[in-house]
Structure 1
């Protein structure tokens, strides 16, 4: 599924080509599902197992459908699909309008952010997650962005704090608020990340 990396390319033409591939993958997934659904309309169907296997195979080449095949309870860090989880989240972070238009799935976003909020990632994955947090704090709030606090707490490090401090001192009003809030929570791991806590902090931090 290497074509999917085109979704986060800086070249608009490369992204457009990847979106065509995604549309093809989604169409193939729907066709495979329709074939499987037809077997359930018959009381006995010899082709049901084959249709089910085909559907599982085909959906693995689409996003976000291909991200749901991780065995229950398995470690996401060791799962071969982790790079595509990070890709899916990076796509939403860098090109939110394209992601919303072609693959909007807020529940998937929330679930995947929670899944990657673990401390034992390798250096490459940790750096990618720090990059994502830096991007997200600098934009207007989008649905489920609040979940990134979990990730920040999991990968807390000097690099992350340095980037957040820079963002909190910037001229970007969203970055000042979001980065400042995340830094405040990193210093207070016992404080829950709730809407009430956010509003209370915001009122106190920007009362002047």
Structure 2
């Protein structure tokens, strides 16, 4: 048919469109008022609401959705947050398989990177940084620079210098980068550095 032929317009009008296909596959619920269908829909919505509510209190969402305002040092979930970060640092494949949550990791590291932790937490953060610099870069690892700046000490720098002198090329690069930034606190930790 040549373009502009009146028959083409009629063919287009009678051809099923996406809306028609959707109705055939999934009929609108407003037309389907049987009690069993309505009951199933109500149960599904209630189950979904319950699932979303429970997720707020389970790992990793419980860590990401911590209440705003309170100081991280006094937060009861701090030990769980450090354990979550340690799990990701020590066992990255298992963490990825079972709890992959890059956004949670990205939010937690700056949250825990404060200077007024007690010595136990500072040591745990230094341990995490030491583990992270020894492995290939993973998503959001750059956030550990902030933690290194928060717990900067002679011990932290000694650990990083040891890693930078090791035979591990990942450790040389990561530790060297963090040491370079520790010596230059005015330089931002961005991809462009």
Compute the RMSD of aligned alpha carbons. Answer: 2.4
Structure 1 residue aligned with 2:45: 38
The normalised TM-score by structure 1 is 0.67
Q: Structure 1, unaligned stretches of length 5 or more? A: 1-34, 42-50, 198-208
How do residues 4-153 of structure 1 correspond to structure 2 at under 5 angstroms? 38-39=45-46, 56=53, 58-59=54-55, 62-153=58-149
**Distance in 2 between the 1:37 and 1:179 partners?**
50
2:157 aligned to which of 144, 161, 170: 161
* Per-residue deviation, residues 105-150 of structure 1 (Å, max 9, x unmatched): 1111101111111111111111100000000011111000000000
The normalised TM-score by structure 2 is 0.72
Structure 2 residue aligned with 1:171: 167
1:36/1:55 contact within 8 Å kept: no
Q: Structure 2, unaligned stretches of length 5 or more? A: 1-41
1:119/1:155 contact within 8 Å kept: yes
**Distance in 2 between the 1:132 and 1:77 partners?**
17
Q: How far is the alpha carbon of 1:36 from its aligned partner?
A: 9.2
Q: Which has the larger radius of gyration?
A: 2
- Runs (4+) of structure 1 moved beyond 4 Å? none
| SS of residue in 2 equivalent to 1:192 | coil
Q: How far is the alpha carbon of 1:73 from its aligned partner?
A: 1.7
* Per-residue deviation, residues 24-73 of structure 1 (Å, max 9, x unmatched): xxxxxxxxxxx9972499xxxxxxxxx76x964x4465210221452212
**Distance in 2 between the 1:76 and 1:37 partners?**
37
Q: Which is helix-richer, 1 or 2?
A: 1
How many residue pairs match? The answer is 153
**Distance in 1 between the 2:157 and 2:123 partners?**
13
